Amino acid sequence: MLSESRTNVPEAKGELQTQEVQKFPIWEVFTKKKESAVHLHAGSLSAPDSELAQCFAREHYGQDQPCVNMWVTRRDFLTADSGENESYELFVQWGAGLRYEHVGEVEACNGVEARDKCKELFCADKKHFTIWSCPNSGITKIDGSTNMIWRETTDQAYRLASGYSKVVRKKWEALRESKAVDDYQSEDLKDTY
Partner 1 sequence: MSASANVEVKVGDCSNEDPQKLAAFEEHVANGGLIEPNDWMPEAYRSLMLRMAEHHANSEIVGALPEGEWIVKAPSLLRKLALTAKVQDEVGHGQMLYEVAQDLGKSRNAMLRDLITGVTKYHNCFNYPCPTWADICMIAWLIDGAAILNQGTLAHGSFGPYIRTMRRINMEEAFHFKHGEDMVLTLMSGTDSQKQMAQEAFDRWWEPSIAFFGPNDRPDELERPAMRWRMKTATNDDLRQKFVNRFAPAAMATGLVINVCTKDDQGNVTSATPDPLLKLDEETGHWGFTQPNWEEFFRVIRGNGPCNKDRLALRRFSYEQGEWVRKAILDGTTTPCKN
Is 178 a binder of partner 1 (CB under 8 A)? no
Give CA–CA dist 58/48, Å, rounded: 16
Site for partner 1 in 68-87 (CB under 8 A): 74
Region from 8-16, 81-89, 111-119, 144-152 binding partner 1, contact rule CB under 8 A: 8-16
Q: How many CB atoms are closer than 10 A to CB 78? A: 22
Choose which of 34, 141, 151, 176 interacts with partner 1 (CB under 8 A): 176
Q: Is 34 in the site for partner 1 (CB under 8 A)?
A: no
Give the whole-angstrom CA distance, residue 29 versus residue 103: 15
Residue 62 binds partner 1 (CB under 8 A): no
CB of 120: closest distance to partner 1 in angstroms? 23
Q: Smallest distance, Å, CB 155 to partner 1?
A: 10
Helical pair 178-185 and 162-175, crossing angle rounded to 10 deg: 140
Compute how many residues bind partner 1; rule: CB under 8 A: 68
Q: How far is the CB of 31 from partner 1 (least distance, A)?
A: 11
Which member of 34, 99, 141, 151 binds partner 1 (CB under 8 A)?
99
Helix/strand/coil (H, E, C) string of the chain? Answer: CCCHHHCCCCCCCCCCCCCCCCCCCEEEEEEECCCCCCCEEEEEEECCCHHHHHHHHHHHHHCCCCCCEEEEEEHHHHHCCCCCCEEEEEEEECCCCCCCEEEEEEEECCHHHHHHHHHHHHHCCCCCCEEEEEEHHHEEEEEHHHCCCCCCCCCCHHHCCHHHHHHHHHHHHHHCCHHHHHHHHCCCCHHHC
User: Could you say whether residue 12 binds partner 1 (CB under 8 A)?
Assistant: yes
C-beta closer to partner 1: residue 4 or 35: 4
Q: Which CB atom, from 99 or from 141, has the smaller least distance to partner 1? A: 99
The yes or no reply on residue 179 touching partner 1 (CB under 8 A) is: no
Interface contacts to partner 1, rule CB under 8 A: 1-3, 6, 9-12, 14-26, 42-46, 48-52, 56, 59-60, 63-65, 74, 93, 95-99, 129-130, 138, 158-161, 163-165, 167-168, 171-172, 174-176, 180, 184, 187-189, 192-193
